[in-house]
Structure 1
Amino acid sequence: MALKFEINGKTYSQKEARVLCRLLLNKYKVSGAVDDLNDFLFLKEAFERHHYNPLQKLPSPIKSIFVKPSSSGSNYQFWVVLEDGTETHIGFSKKCFVTERIKNKLIHEDNVIDAARHHIRYQQDEARNNFKNTNNLICAICRKAINKADLHADHTPPDSFKSIFKAWLDYKGINIIDITYMDLHNTEQRGFQDKELINDWRIYHKLKFNPQPTHSRCNIAQG
């Protein structure tokens, strides 16, 4: 049975909804801001109702939508500004208009990646503290001078966090869906349940991690 999604009183198939999103993405490549009311309302409801995890991705209503190049410059993305001031990119080709099975799979993967980031954050903190002892820091992303109060330690391409994590999964011969995680200390933070896996991941990441200084906003903006 074909998937159907209601958006502003009209019913779309998965393909129809994604095609229309793609058309609007291409339409606003030049102007940037999605300023046509009908286009805005379609995208707003499409994202708020049919993203696989809107409570996490969109914790408050969408205030405005615009289009800009991705951090790599190889394609364009939708970006949204929420009423609480949050600004984030949002994808539709794999992250919207999905089945419940795919939705649950994606949420599991997000949580495992959150846990993986948690386990190596101390390595980034150590790198950031080392950078603070260096003068004339230049952001590796925007190439502008960094105020040390706005400093992150980012991964150096091509060894991004995602590429290191994927290489580790391949090295271990495991699938992300097979990794179990738990909430830590009654917080929203997550961690792997397997302590040996935690130690192995930390060692592998440290071997591959080649940190670079960035503005915190530049680091966050590229995901």
Structure 2
Amino acid sequence: MATEETRASKQTPAAEVAKRRGRPRSFDRDTALEQAVRSFWELGYEATSISDLTRAMGISAPSLYAAFGDKRALFDEVVAVYRQHYGGFLHRALAEEPTARRGVERGLREAATEYTLPGRPRGCLVVSAALNISPASLEVADSLREMRRATVRQIAGAIRADIASGELPGDTAADALAGYIGAVIHGMSQQARDGAQRTELEAVAELALKVWPGPAGGTAR
């Protein structure tokens, strides 16, 4: 029969694990996550190392893994935070404006501002974070690509709604027009990272809107 000492020694590892799990974090998780957003936004997924992250977040590698899992799991959280706080302006514009053109116009103008704000990385994380990615990280590239495609599909859906309502001519090529706007937004992101100023991107946005079809049976608005 096991002695009390033996039973106690068998319980020690589990007790230690429970004790470690019960320890409060010595850092603010949301603050650390915000710093991770900026690191991935600035450097991209592949180029951001665990050392880069721990230095920016002000935590140790064990703390990072305990709080966020691995690098990929952390990046998934980063993208969610980015889309909620920084990158959702086009989606909101399309949802809130009465027509696709109004939504796209607002979204492009806000992109010119958002992509060039001082004090934070330039451009769009969803566009730039998977550039120059290795085969080992293709799932990350695929995930971001699907997000970009979903944005283009949302634009196309808004255009189709305007065709159905008579706002746009029936022969408007919804997919091609949406793809064009998507390409403009992606290009604006890269130009911002290359140093373009807000006014330069606003000029790009204004020129891009000139291809938008006029309203069905009416004058341009």
TM range (shorter): under 0.3
Superposition TM-score, scaled by structure 1 size:
0.21
Decide which structure has the larger Cα Rg and report it: 2
Higher helix share: 2
